């Protein structure tokens, strides 16, 4: 018998009949503790033919101690069931606080699953799936042992379920090792493998994924201006200008900004945007892990529309105003007190 595995995705939940349940961003059912009735009938799974056999239904649940979860399972050749009361009237099998159940006694083209919550607390149901086989060991035995639903069949299903779950985890390893698809909780772990520490509190998940994805190349560029430029691009999505004062003569470097002395190990990163405190700390936290130890990095924020007034000097952080037309009065010679009239 071929095995068909059916998963409950967010699209299936949106077509289900829900009362007192909501669908969270991860595609799980979450009950409303304030609701009087918390019931859900999942949009039915469809088998290959009328009288189809069903094997196993499992899910993950977060259930408070004083809360009772009833799971109703029913298989029919019609798909016109929309409430738990209808399922009860047609003889649905009831399971109490179970998250893994065998459905060997059910036959029907459509499999209906209903949830009924009683008691206080918030209930979360996720990773729901059903399959048509239930075990993978029976077919390897002589036909005399292949009595469906027998004690021996159910006994073997214990080991079959463990093996199937383990195989699914093994099949998911490529997904877990991919920074683009792995759980967000694994991103700091993968960064630590490259000797880099990242804090989930300082950046959103998409930025973390992008950073981890480029860590191999970033590690190879450690100690170079390019790694700072790449980090700024990842975190700020902005191109920056980097000034290395070790390539500027001492007299020139100290005349750039009067009153401020720059040493040969000072580096300035000029950014054309304002940084809030969190972003500033986040960027420096990363830069300090990639720069040489003796190098001091300073972030300078540049305004896009800076203008010079009458008392300012020409500075690298200044922008000249627009050109104006000027005319010299007659009889005036060029000197230190020259006046211009518009």
Every domain of the chain and the residues it spans: 5-134, 237-342
- Residue at token pair 């383990």: 166
Q: Give the list of residues 6+ apart from residue 125 with CB closer than 8 angstroms, or none.
A: 28, 29, 30, 40, 59, 60, 61, 115
Domain 5-134: give its CATH code.
2.60.120
Q: Give the list of residues 6+ apart from residue 306 with CB closer than 8 angstroms, or none.
A: 317, 318, 319
Cα–Cα distance, 213 to 218 (Å, whole number): 10
pLDDT for the residue numbered 73: 94
- On the question of pLDDT at 105 being above 80, the answer is yes
- On the question of pLDDT at 342 being above 70, the answer is no
Strands (E) in 64-123, as ranges, are 68-76, 93-96, 100-102, 110-118
Q: Give the list of residues 6+ apart from residue 208 with CB closer than 8 angstroms, or none.
A: 184, 187, 188, 198, 200
- On the question of pLDDT at 320 being above 80, the answer is no
Cα–Cα distance, 232 to 293 (Å, whole number): 19
pLDDT for the residue numbered 40: 93
Neighbours of 118 (CB within 10 A): 11
In tens, the pLDDT along 106-151 reads 889 999 999 999 988 889 999 998 887 767 777 777 877 777 778 8
In tens, the pLDDT along 269-285 reads 888 888 888 888 888 98
């Amino acid at each position: 018998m071929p095995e068909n595995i059916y998963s409950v995705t967010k699209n299936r939940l949106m077509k289900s009949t829900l009362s007192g349940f909501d669908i969270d961003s991860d595609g799980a059912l979450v009950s409303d503790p304030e609701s009087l009735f918390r019931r859900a009938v999942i949009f039915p799974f469809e088998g290959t033919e009328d009288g189809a056999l069903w094997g196993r239904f499992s899910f993950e649940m977060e259930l408070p101690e004083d809360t009772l979860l009833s799971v109703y399972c029913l298989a029919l050749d019609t798909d016109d069931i929309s409430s738990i009361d209808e399922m009860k009237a047609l003889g649905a099998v009831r399971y109490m606080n179970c998250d893994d159940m065998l459905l060997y006694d059910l036959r029907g083209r459509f499999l209906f699953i209903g949830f009924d919550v009683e008691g206080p607390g918030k209930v979360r149901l996720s990773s729901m799936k059903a399959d048509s086989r239930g075990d993978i060991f029976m077919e390897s035995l002589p036909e005399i042992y292949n009595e469906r639903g027998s004690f021996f069949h159910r006994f073997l299903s214990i080991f079959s379920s463990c093996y199937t779950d383990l195989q699914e985890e093994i099949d998911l390893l490529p997904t877990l090792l991919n920074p683009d698809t792995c759980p967000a909780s694994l991103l700091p772990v993968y960064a630590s493998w490259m000797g880099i520490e990242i804090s989930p509190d300082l950046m959103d998940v998409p930025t973390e994924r992008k950073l981890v994805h480029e860590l191999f190349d970033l590690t190879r560029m450690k100690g170079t201006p390019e790694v700072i430029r790449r980090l700024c691009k990842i975190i700020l999505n902005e191109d920056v200008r980097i000034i290395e004062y070790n390539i500027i003569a001492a007299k020139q470097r100290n005349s750039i900004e009067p009153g401020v002395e720059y040493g040969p190990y000072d580096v300035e990163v000029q950014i054309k945007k304002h940084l809030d405190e969190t972003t500033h700390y986040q960027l420096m936290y990363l830069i300090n892990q990639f720069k040489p130890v003796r190098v001091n990095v300073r972030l300078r924020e540049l305004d896009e529309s800076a203008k010079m007034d009458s008392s300012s000097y020409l500075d690298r952080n200044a922008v000249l105003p627009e050109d104006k037309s000027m005319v010299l009065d007659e009889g005036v010679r060029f000197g230190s007190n020259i006046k211009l009239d518009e």
